[in-house]
Amino acid sequence: MKTITTTDALAAFCAEAAKRAYVTVDTEFLRERTYYSKLCLVQLAYQDSDGDDACLVDPLAEGLSLAPLYDLFADAGVVKVFHAARQDLEIFFVDKGIIPAPLFDTQVAAMVCGFGEQAGYETLVRKICKSDLDKSSRFTDWTRRPLTDAQATYAVGDVTFLRDIYEYLSDRLEKSGRKKWVAEEMAVLNDPATYRADPDEAWRRVKTRTNSGRFLAIVRELARFRETYARDRNIPRSRVYKDDALIELASTKPQSEQDLGRSRLLLREARRGDIAAGIMTAVKSGLAVPNDQLPKVDHSSVKLQVNPALADLLRVLLKSKSDNEDVAAKLIASSAELDALAAGERDMKAMRGWRKEVFGNDAILLCDGKVGLAVDGQKVVTVPL
Protein backbone atom coordinates (compact mmCIF):
# COMPACT_ATOMS: atom_id res chain seq x y z
CA MET A 1 0.00 0.00 0.00
CA LYS A 2 1.38 3.40 -0.97
CA THR A 3 0.37 7.01 -0.69
CA ILE A 4 0.17 8.94 -3.96
CA THR A 5 0.93 12.66 -3.88
CA THR A 6 1.73 13.42 -7.54
CA THR A 7 -0.29 13.36 -10.74
CA ASP A 8 2.27 11.15 -12.48
CA ALA A 9 2.08 8.51 -9.75
CA LEU A 10 -1.72 8.59 -9.89
CA ALA A 11 -1.64 8.22 -13.67
CA ALA A 12 0.64 5.18 -13.36
CA PHE A 13 -1.61 3.51 -10.82
CA CYS A 14 -4.75 4.22 -12.86
CA ALA A 15 -3.07 2.85 -15.99
CA GLU A 16 -2.52 -0.44 -14.17
CA ALA A 17 -6.05 -0.40 -12.79
CA ALA A 18 -7.42 0.11 -16.31
CA LYS A 19 -6.04 -3.33 -17.26
CA ARG A 20 -8.30 -5.01 -14.67
CA ALA A 21 -11.98 -5.87 -14.73
CA TYR A 22 -12.77 -3.68 -11.73
CA VAL A 23 -11.37 -1.17 -9.28
CA THR A 24 -12.65 -0.59 -5.75
CA VAL A 25 -13.05 3.01 -4.60
CA ASP A 26 -13.75 4.83 -1.35
CA THR A 27 -13.23 8.34 0.00
CA GLU A 28 -12.68 10.12 3.28
CA PHE A 29 -14.14 13.60 3.55
CA LEU A 30 -15.30 16.28 5.96
CA ARG A 31 -18.55 18.23 5.73
CA GLU A 32 -19.12 19.63 9.19
CA ARG A 33 -17.92 23.12 8.29
CA THR A 34 -18.82 23.36 4.59
CA TYR A 35 -21.78 23.08 2.22
CA TYR A 36 -19.86 20.81 -0.15
CA SER A 37 -17.91 17.84 1.14
CA LYS A 38 -14.17 18.49 1.37
CA LEU A 39 -12.37 15.55 -0.23
CA CYS A 40 -9.47 14.49 2.00
CA LEU A 41 -8.49 11.06 0.72
CA VAL A 42 -9.27 8.63 -2.09
CA GLN A 43 -8.64 4.93 -1.64
CA LEU A 44 -8.19 2.64 -4.66
CA ALA A 45 -7.48 -1.05 -5.11
CA TYR A 46 -7.49 -3.65 -7.86
CA GLN A 47 -6.92 -7.40 -7.87
CA ASP A 48 -3.28 -8.39 -8.32
CA SER A 49 -0.77 -10.92 -7.08
CA ASP A 50 2.33 -8.82 -6.41
CA GLY A 51 0.96 -6.90 -3.42
CA ASP A 52 1.23 -3.49 -5.11
CA ASP A 53 -2.49 -3.30 -5.74
CA ALA A 54 -3.83 -0.65 -3.36
CA CYS A 55 -3.08 3.01 -2.74
CA LEU A 56 -4.14 6.11 -0.89
CA VAL A 57 -4.47 9.21 -3.05
CA ASP A 58 -3.89 12.50 -1.24
CA PRO A 59 -6.00 15.18 -2.99
CA LEU A 60 -4.64 17.74 -0.51
CA ALA A 61 -1.12 17.30 -1.91
CA GLU A 62 0.09 20.42 -3.70
CA GLY A 63 -0.13 20.17 -7.48
CA LEU A 64 -1.92 16.81 -7.60
CA SER A 65 -4.65 16.56 -10.26
CA LEU A 66 -7.38 13.93 -10.16
CA ALA A 67 -7.62 13.91 -13.98
CA PRO A 68 -6.15 10.36 -14.30
CA LEU A 69 -8.74 9.08 -11.83
CA TYR A 70 -11.55 10.73 -13.77
CA ASP A 71 -10.25 9.11 -16.96
CA LEU A 72 -10.46 5.76 -15.18
CA PHE A 73 -13.99 6.57 -14.03
CA ALA A 74 -14.95 7.13 -17.67
CA ASP A 75 -13.41 3.83 -18.84
CA ALA A 76 -16.37 1.63 -19.75
CA GLY A 77 -14.21 -1.50 -19.53
CA VAL A 78 -13.58 -1.19 -15.80
CA VAL A 79 -16.32 -1.61 -13.19
CA LYS A 80 -16.09 0.97 -10.41
CA VAL A 81 -17.02 -0.66 -7.11
CA PHE A 82 -18.21 1.41 -4.12
CA HIS A 83 -20.04 0.68 -0.89
CA ALA A 84 -22.92 3.05 -0.07
CA ALA A 85 -21.79 5.22 -2.94
CA ARG A 86 -24.17 8.20 -2.73
CA GLN A 87 -21.93 10.67 -0.88
CA ASP A 88 -18.75 9.55 -2.64
CA LEU A 89 -20.36 10.06 -6.03
CA GLU A 90 -21.66 13.49 -5.08
CA ILE A 91 -18.08 14.64 -4.39
CA PHE A 92 -16.87 13.62 -7.84
CA PHE A 93 -19.97 14.98 -9.58
CA VAL A 94 -19.66 18.37 -7.91
CA ASP A 95 -15.93 18.52 -8.67
CA LYS A 96 -15.96 17.35 -12.29
CA GLY A 97 -19.54 16.60 -13.32
CA ILE A 98 -18.67 12.92 -13.70
CA ILE A 99 -20.41 9.77 -12.49
CA PRO A 100 -18.20 6.66 -12.61
CA ALA A 101 -19.50 4.04 -15.05
CA PRO A 102 -20.14 1.18 -15.04
CA LEU A 103 -20.99 1.42 -11.36
CA PHE A 104 -21.55 -1.25 -8.71
CA ASP A 105 -22.71 -0.50 -5.16
CA THR A 106 -22.10 -3.41 -2.78
CA GLN A 107 -24.65 -2.10 -0.26
CA VAL A 108 -27.43 -2.35 -2.84
CA ALA A 109 -26.17 -5.73 -4.02
CA ALA A 110 -26.03 -6.99 -0.44
CA MET A 111 -29.71 -6.12 0.09
CA VAL A 112 -30.58 -7.98 -3.10
CA CYS A 113 -28.54 -10.94 -1.87
CA GLY A 114 -30.29 -11.20 1.49
CA PHE A 115 -27.92 -9.38 3.84
CA GLY A 116 -30.70 -7.25 5.29
CA GLU A 117 -31.58 -3.59 5.01
CA GLN A 118 -28.76 -1.04 4.63
CA ALA A 119 -26.06 -3.67 5.16
CA GLY A 120 -23.01 -1.96 6.65
CA TYR A 121 -19.50 -2.45 5.32
CA GLU A 122 -18.28 -3.79 8.65
CA THR A 123 -21.05 -6.41 8.61
CA LEU A 124 -20.11 -7.55 5.11
CA VAL A 125 -16.44 -7.77 6.03
CA ARG A 126 -17.33 -9.95 8.99
CA LYS A 127 -19.80 -12.20 7.14
CA ILE A 128 -18.08 -12.50 3.76
CA CYS A 129 -14.38 -11.93 4.50
CA LYS A 130 -14.50 -13.51 7.97
CA SER A 131 -12.46 -10.59 9.33
CA ASP A 132 -12.94 -7.73 11.76
CA LEU A 133 -12.26 -4.07 10.99
CA ASP A 134 -10.39 -1.77 13.33
CA LYS A 135 -12.79 1.21 13.44
CA SER A 136 -10.76 3.26 15.93
CA SER A 137 -9.92 5.81 13.23
CA ARG A 138 -13.53 6.23 12.05
CA PHE A 139 -13.93 9.72 13.49
CA THR A 140 -10.50 11.04 12.60
CA ASP A 141 -9.76 14.48 11.14
CA TRP A 142 -8.77 13.50 7.61
CA THR A 143 -7.40 16.96 6.79
CA ARG A 144 -4.42 16.48 9.10
CA ARG A 145 -1.07 15.36 7.70
CA PRO A 146 0.82 13.13 7.94
CA LEU A 147 -1.62 10.25 8.36
CA THR A 148 -0.80 7.82 11.13
CA ASP A 149 -0.24 4.14 10.39
CA ALA A 150 -3.56 3.37 12.05
CA GLN A 151 -5.37 5.88 9.84
CA ALA A 152 -3.75 4.52 6.69
CA THR A 153 -4.57 0.92 7.64
CA TYR A 154 -8.17 1.84 8.39
CA ALA A 155 -8.56 3.76 5.14
CA VAL A 156 -7.06 1.12 2.84
CA GLY A 157 -9.20 -1.57 4.49
CA ASP A 158 -12.24 0.12 2.99
CA VAL A 159 -11.11 -0.93 -0.50
CA THR A 160 -9.06 -4.10 0.00
CA PHE A 161 -11.83 -6.08 1.70
CA LEU A 162 -14.22 -4.55 -0.82
CA ARG A 163 -12.62 -6.67 -3.57
CA ASP A 164 -13.65 -9.93 -1.91
CA ILE A 165 -17.10 -8.54 -1.12
CA TYR A 166 -17.61 -7.49 -4.74
CA GLU A 167 -16.48 -10.82 -6.16
CA TYR A 168 -18.68 -12.74 -3.72
CA LEU A 169 -21.79 -10.65 -4.39
CA SER A 170 -21.18 -10.53 -8.13
CA ASP A 171 -20.95 -14.31 -8.20
CA ARG A 172 -24.17 -14.68 -6.21
CA LEU A 173 -25.98 -12.28 -8.50
CA GLU A 174 -24.76 -14.18 -11.56
CA LYS A 175 -25.96 -17.52 -10.16
CA SER A 176 -29.31 -16.13 -9.04
CA GLY A 177 -29.97 -14.17 -12.24
CA ARG A 178 -30.44 -10.97 -10.27
CA LYS A 179 -27.87 -8.73 -11.92
CA LYS A 180 -30.70 -6.84 -13.62
CA TRP A 181 -32.19 -6.14 -10.18
CA VAL A 182 -29.05 -4.32 -9.11
CA ALA A 183 -28.89 -2.56 -12.48
CA GLU A 184 -32.38 -1.16 -11.85
CA GLU A 185 -31.30 0.11 -8.43
CA MET A 186 -28.25 1.81 -9.94
CA ALA A 187 -30.52 4.09 -11.98
CA VAL A 188 -30.84 6.61 -9.13
CA LEU A 189 -27.09 6.69 -8.50
CA ASN A 190 -26.44 7.13 -12.23
CA ASP A 191 -28.85 10.07 -12.51
CA PRO A 192 -27.11 13.49 -12.33
CA ALA A 193 -30.26 14.95 -10.75
CA THR A 194 -29.49 12.92 -7.63
CA TYR A 195 -26.50 15.17 -6.91
CA ARG A 196 -27.97 18.56 -7.82
CA ALA A 197 -29.38 20.63 -4.97
CA ASP A 198 -32.19 22.73 -6.44
CA PRO A 199 -32.88 25.81 -4.25
CA ASP A 200 -36.44 25.91 -5.60
CA GLU A 201 -37.10 22.46 -4.15
CA ALA A 202 -35.25 22.92 -0.83
CA TRP A 203 -38.49 23.68 1.04
CA ARG A 204 -39.70 20.11 0.53
CA ARG A 205 -37.03 18.88 2.96
CA VAL A 206 -38.38 21.12 5.74
CA LYS A 207 -40.75 19.18 7.98
CA THR A 208 -43.80 21.15 9.04
CA ARG A 209 -47.25 20.26 10.28
CA THR A 210 -48.82 23.37 8.79
CA ASN A 211 -50.34 22.97 5.33
CA SER A 212 -51.40 26.59 4.77
CA GLY A 213 -50.42 27.66 1.27
CA ARG A 214 -49.30 31.10 2.44
CA PHE A 215 -47.20 29.62 5.24
CA LEU A 216 -45.59 27.18 2.79
CA ALA A 217 -44.87 30.00 0.35
CA ILE A 218 -42.83 31.77 3.03
CA VAL A 219 -41.11 28.47 3.94
CA ARG A 220 -40.25 28.00 0.27
CA GLU A 221 -38.71 31.46 -0.04
CA LEU A 222 -36.78 31.14 3.23
CA ALA A 223 -35.46 27.69 2.23
CA ARG A 224 -34.49 28.97 -1.22
CA PHE A 225 -32.55 31.89 0.26
CA ARG A 226 -30.82 29.65 2.80
CA GLU A 227 -29.81 27.10 0.16
CA THR A 228 -28.41 29.72 -2.19
CA TYR A 229 -26.62 31.64 0.55
CA ALA A 230 -25.01 28.49 2.00
CA ARG A 231 -24.03 27.12 -1.41
CA ASP A 232 -22.48 30.37 -2.65
CA ARG A 233 -20.36 30.70 0.50
CA ASN A 234 -19.73 26.96 0.93
CA ILE A 235 -21.01 26.89 4.50
CA PRO A 236 -23.47 24.44 6.15
CA ARG A 237 -27.15 25.33 5.90
CA SER A 238 -27.35 25.27 9.68
CA ARG A 239 -24.85 28.14 9.83
CA VAL A 240 -27.45 30.33 8.11
CA TYR A 241 -30.40 29.13 10.21
CA LYS A 242 -31.73 25.75 11.25
CA ASP A 243 -35.07 24.29 10.28
CA ASP A 244 -36.73 25.13 13.59
CA ALA A 245 -35.71 28.78 13.16
CA LEU A 246 -37.00 28.73 9.58
CA ILE A 247 -40.39 27.48 10.78
CA GLU A 248 -40.45 30.17 13.44
CA LEU A 249 -39.67 32.85 10.84
CA ALA A 250 -42.44 31.60 8.56
CA SER A 251 -44.85 31.87 11.49
CA THR A 252 -43.80 35.29 12.81
CA LYS A 253 -43.18 36.90 9.38
CA PRO A 254 -40.55 39.44 10.54
CA GLN A 255 -40.52 42.77 8.69
CA SER A 256 -37.53 44.42 10.36
CA GLU A 257 -34.31 43.71 12.25
CA GLN A 258 -36.20 44.65 15.39
CA ASP A 259 -38.65 41.82 14.65
CA LEU A 260 -35.73 39.44 14.07
CA GLY A 261 -34.33 40.41 17.45
CA ARG A 262 -37.38 38.87 19.11
CA SER A 263 -36.70 35.44 17.61
CA ARG A 264 -36.02 32.67 20.11
CA LEU A 265 -34.29 30.34 17.66
CA LEU A 266 -32.41 32.52 15.17
CA LEU A 267 -28.63 32.67 15.52
CA ARG A 268 -27.35 36.05 16.69
CA GLU A 269 -25.31 36.66 13.51
CA ALA A 270 -28.42 36.02 11.40
CA ARG A 271 -30.29 38.94 12.96
CA ARG A 272 -28.34 41.55 11.04
CA GLY A 273 -26.40 42.04 7.85
CA ASP A 274 -26.84 39.97 4.68
CA ILE A 275 -28.70 37.11 6.31
CA ALA A 276 -31.19 39.43 8.00
CA ALA A 277 -31.77 41.25 4.71
CA GLY A 278 -32.24 37.92 2.93
CA ILE A 279 -34.75 36.74 5.52
CA MET A 280 -36.88 39.86 5.23
CA THR A 281 -36.77 39.75 1.44
CA ALA A 282 -37.78 36.08 1.50
CA VAL A 283 -40.69 36.77 3.85
CA LYS A 284 -41.83 39.66 1.69
CA SER A 285 -41.64 37.47 -1.43
CA GLY A 286 -43.62 34.70 0.25
CA LEU A 287 -46.35 37.12 1.28
CA ALA A 288 -46.55 38.47 -2.27
CA VAL A 289 -47.11 35.11 -4.01
CA PRO A 290 -50.51 35.17 -5.77
CA ASN A 291 -53.09 32.84 -4.29
CA ASP A 292 -53.24 30.69 -7.41
CA GLN A 293 -49.46 30.12 -7.26
CA LEU A 294 -49.16 29.06 -3.64
CA PRO A 295 -47.33 25.77 -3.07
CA LYS A 296 -49.46 22.80 -2.21
CA VAL A 297 -48.74 19.75 -0.12
CA ASP A 298 -49.59 16.40 -1.69
CA HIS A 299 -52.56 15.29 0.36
CA SER A 300 -53.11 12.10 -1.61
CA SER A 301 -51.66 9.90 1.13
CA VAL A 302 -53.74 11.69 3.77
CA LYS A 303 -56.95 11.11 1.84
CA LEU A 304 -56.30 7.42 1.27
CA GLN A 305 -58.94 5.18 2.77
CA VAL A 306 -56.63 2.43 3.98
CA ASN A 307 -58.12 -0.96 4.75
CA PRO A 308 -56.05 -1.85 7.84
CA ALA A 309 -56.79 -5.57 7.64
CA LEU A 310 -55.68 -5.69 4.00
CA ALA A 311 -52.58 -3.65 4.83
CA ASP A 312 -51.69 -6.24 7.48
CA LEU A 313 -52.14 -9.05 4.95
CA LEU A 314 -49.87 -7.23 2.52
CA ARG A 315 -47.22 -7.00 5.24
CA VAL A 316 -47.44 -10.75 5.77
CA LEU A 317 -47.15 -11.29 2.02
CA LEU A 318 -44.14 -8.99 1.82
CA LYS A 319 -42.42 -10.78 4.70
CA SER A 320 -43.09 -14.10 3.01
CA LYS A 321 -41.73 -12.92 -0.34
CA SER A 322 -38.72 -11.33 1.32
CA ASP A 323 -37.88 -14.55 3.17
CA ASN A 324 -38.51 -16.80 0.19
CA GLU A 325 -36.46 -14.66 -2.19
CA ASP A 326 -33.80 -13.82 0.43
CA VAL A 327 -33.96 -10.09 -0.26
CA ALA A 328 -34.48 -7.18 2.15
CA ALA A 329 -38.20 -6.42 2.57
CA LYS A 330 -37.57 -2.67 2.65
CA LEU A 331 -35.94 -2.89 -0.76
CA ILE A 332 -39.10 -4.41 -2.22
CA ALA A 333 -41.73 -2.08 -0.73
CA SER A 334 -42.01 0.51 2.01
CA SER A 335 -44.67 0.60 4.71
CA ALA A 336 -46.22 3.66 3.04
CA GLU A 337 -46.47 1.77 -0.25
CA LEU A 338 -48.24 -1.12 1.47
CA ASP A 339 -50.79 1.28 2.94
CA ALA A 340 -51.26 2.89 -0.47
CA LEU A 341 -51.79 -0.53 -2.05
CA ALA A 342 -54.42 -1.32 0.57
CA ALA A 343 -56.15 1.94 -0.36
CA GLY A 344 -56.26 1.10 -4.06
CA GLU A 345 -53.18 2.92 -5.33
CA ARG A 346 -51.07 1.19 -7.98
CA ASP A 347 -48.58 3.78 -9.27
CA MET A 348 -45.50 3.08 -7.15
CA LYS A 349 -42.03 1.55 -7.34
CA ALA A 350 -43.25 -1.74 -5.88
CA MET A 351 -45.39 -2.18 -9.00
CA ARG A 352 -42.51 -1.90 -11.46
CA GLY A 353 -39.55 -3.96 -12.67
CA TRP A 354 -38.26 -6.85 -10.58
CA ARG A 355 -40.35 -5.77 -7.59
CA LYS A 356 -43.54 -6.39 -9.53
CA GLU A 357 -42.32 -9.87 -10.46
CA VAL A 358 -41.33 -10.76 -6.90
CA PHE A 359 -44.15 -9.07 -4.98
CA GLY A 360 -46.37 -6.74 -6.96
CA ASN A 361 -48.28 -9.24 -9.07
CA ASP A 362 -49.35 -11.33 -6.07
CA ALA A 363 -50.04 -8.18 -4.05
CA ILE A 364 -52.57 -7.04 -6.65
CA LEU A 365 -54.19 -10.47 -6.70
CA LEU A 366 -54.44 -10.35 -2.90
CA CYS A 367 -55.98 -6.87 -3.00
CA ASP A 368 -58.48 -8.02 -5.64
CA GLY A 369 -59.52 -11.04 -3.58
CA LYS A 370 -58.19 -13.53 -6.13
CA VAL A 371 -55.67 -15.18 -3.82
CA GLY A 372 -55.43 -15.78 -0.10
CA LEU A 373 -52.60 -16.63 2.25
CA ALA A 374 -52.00 -20.03 3.78
CA VAL A 375 -49.32 -21.77 5.83
CA ASP A 376 -47.37 -24.52 4.11
CA GLY A 377 -44.90 -25.97 6.58
CA GLN A 378 -42.63 -23.10 7.58
CA LYS A 379 -43.73 -20.87 4.71
CA VAL A 380 -46.63 -18.55 3.97
CA VAL A 381 -47.89 -19.11 0.43
CA THR A 382 -50.60 -17.72 -1.81
CA VAL A 383 -53.57 -19.92 -2.73
CA PRO A 384 -56.12 -19.19 -5.47
CA LEU A 385 -59.62 -18.26 -4.33
pLDDT in tens, the chain (385 residues): 799 999 999 999 999 999 999 999 999 999 999 999 999 999 999 987 666 799 999 999 999 999 999 999 999 999 999 999 999 999 999 999 999 999 999 999 999 999 988 789 999 999 999 999 887 788 889 999 999 999 999 999 999 999 999 999 999 999 999 999 999 999 999 999 999 999 999 999 999 988 899 999 999 999 999 999 999 999 999 999 999 999 999 999 999 999 999 999 999 999 999 999 999 999 999 999 999 999 987 655 455 688 999 999 999 999 999 999 999 999 999 999 999 999 999 999 999 999 999 999 999 999 999 999 999 998 999 999 9
**Residues contacting 359, CB < 8 A, separation 6+:** 317, 318, 321, 332, 333, 350
Residues 225, 282: Cα–Cα separation, whole Å: 7
* CATH of the domain spanning 2-195: 3.30.420.10
Q: Are strands 379-384 and 371-376 parallel, antiparallel or unpaired?
A: antiparallel
CATH number of the 301-384 domain? 1.10.150.80
| Inter-residue contact 202 to 225 (CB < 8 Å) | no
Q: How far is CA 189 from CA 44, 84, 177, 182, in A?
A: 20, 10, 21, 11
Portions of the chain given CATH number 3.30.420.10? 2-195
Q: How far is CA 105 from CA 171, 186, 255, 358, in A?
A: 14, 8, 49, 21
CATH of 199-293, one of 3.65.10.10, 3.40.50.720, 2.60.120.1570, 1.10.150.80: 1.10.150.80
Q: What pTM value is reported for the model?
A: 0.89
CATH 1.10.150.80 region(s) of the chain? Answer: 199-293, 301-384
